[in-house]
Amino acid sequence: MPAMPADSFDAIIIGAGQAGTPLAYALADAGRRVAMVESEALGGSCINYGCAPTKALLASAQRAHQVRTAGELGINAPEPDVDFAAVIGRMHRLRQNSRDSLHRKITEDHEGITLIRGRAQFTAPHTLRVALVVGGEQQLTAPLIFINTGTKAAVPELEGLADSGYLTSDSLLLNLTEQPEHLIIMGGSYIGVEFGQMFRRLGTRVTIVDTKPRLMAREDPDVSHPLEACLAEAGVELVLGADVRRVSRAADGSITLTVDAKAGERRLHGSHLLVAVGREPNTQELGLEHTGVKLDEDGYIEVNEHLQTGTRGVYALGDVKGGPQFTHIAYDDYRIVRDALLHGQQRGTADRPLPYVVFTEPQLGRIGLSKSQAKEKGIAYRVSRLPARTIGRAVQTGETEGFVEVLVGEDDRLLGAAVFCEQGGEIMTMFQLAMAGRLRYQELEDMILAHPSWAEVLNNAFQRLKPGE
């Protein structure tokens, strides 16, 4: 049977995530004919089971906490009555609004984009076969192909897990309808701690289990320990340095984890289990064996600093290429490719800043080097750590938990900052701007800043500078 003729485009983008979607807009607006192939919901992980839905739920949890603690500011309020169905319903509405907005932009606002709903697979370096959602197939070809297929929740091989009815961050945000009575979370990185505090504030009992001896183990210990203390004070049970051996589900639906902990074997009982041990790339079914695209040992696509794969004209953007998995990094991937293809400007991924925020309360904002990273690189530094309780705005609002830590190099310029306090992400970003402008710390100390604002911490953050140990 002869092969179906291929529909020809100037560019094909596989995956409507936070790198692929704006790239489709830019290419189409420049007069290119673009095919956008997506097998699932538009928007990638950010809109569907990442940033947007989690932060919508976090907003509800934080509002409940504010009501619960209003008495500290002289406002008497009853214990908040959490309508979990309404909380979940609001999250779904906001997510659907984002999906609908994306659909309009792709199909109506930008001429030149053809949206194809289906699963793409390479049959040759620049040819794809798409298994359409509505049935049948479509052949596509283009000189430029951009892989933006993202990741999915990693699930470990563990006795009894497959039959336990476990949740991942993906499935929880798509399918959960009832409030868990007791949520056990496997994994103590940013997903685990955000979900842990969020569900605890919504009224769920929470236990976090991790193999590492502390939460957020990539952070310096004196950064992660205050976060642990914050969660523990809120009533989150932490079982750290523990290996899960098996999972079982009883006839009544309850879940038991058998773990090897510091004090010996323990059995943890809960109503729901969230597996949050990392992500893995969506590369297995792309047919990359028909191309020169190479994968690393973890299945991520190997690219150079310009996001080019081993096949000329084929790029990988966003989480599927490995490295830090953040929406803002994926969006910068788009800018790198856009500028190279449309504006003749070459910029790479090397040495770009990697800011991130853990949206607990207080937030943890991080930019630049940590103390341990500076030591590993042999970079001399001075460090100042300012307790949040010394910030005027923190005292006025009652948000006194945490600290602001800054690292300064021999040239008096910032090397990095860790900000664990109210508005931590916003304060961190101000330090990032100072780093981008190569300002010396004395310029921040002497800058006139509005009083009383959180920004005033830039005046005071360096007053305790001392040599790094």
Joined tokens for residue 101: 């907005």
Name the residue among 289, 297, 320 with its Cα closest to residue 152: 320
Q: Which residue has the tokens 């798409």?
A: 130
Q: In what order do the strands lie in the sheet with 144-147?
A: 7-8, 137-141, 127-132, 113-124, 34-38, 11-14, 144-147, 314-316
Read off the amino acid at residue 386: L
Read off the amino acid at residue 257: L
Q: Which residue has the tokens 């009555």?
A: 81
Query: Cβ(210)–Cβ(216) under 8 Å?
Result: no
Query: Cβ(385)–Cβ(405) under 8 Å?
Result: yes
Q: Provide the terminal-to-terminal Cα distance of the chain, rounded to the nearest Å.
A: 72
Q: Which residue has the tokens 């949520």?
A: 183
Cα–Cα distance, 413 to 420 (Å, whole number): 21
Q: Which residue has the tokens 């959602």?
A: 133
- Contacts of residue 40, defined as CB under 8 A and 6 or more positions apart, other chains included, come to 48
Query: Cβ(213)–Cβ(221) under 8 Å?
Result: no
DSSP label at 163? T
| Bond into 221 cis (ω within 30) | no
- Contacts of residue 68, defined as CB under 8 A and 6 or more positions apart, other chains included, come to 77, 79, 80, 201
- Contacts of residue 297, defined as CB under 8 A and 6 or more positions apart, other chains included, come to none
Cα–Cα distance, 366 to 356 (Å, whole number): 6
Please count the other Cβ atoms lying within 10 Å of the Cβ belonging to residue 222.
12
Phi, psi of 208 (to 5 degrees): -110, 130
Question: What angle in degrees, to the nearest 10, is found between the helix axes of 190-201 and 51-68?
Answer: 40
Query: Cβ(77)–Cβ(67) under 8 Å?
Result: yes
- Contacts of residue 371, defined as CB under 8 A and 6 or more positions apart, other chains included, come to 220, 381, 383, 407, 468
Query: Cβ(407)–Cβ(369) under 8 Å?
Result: yes
The residues that are catalytic are: 451
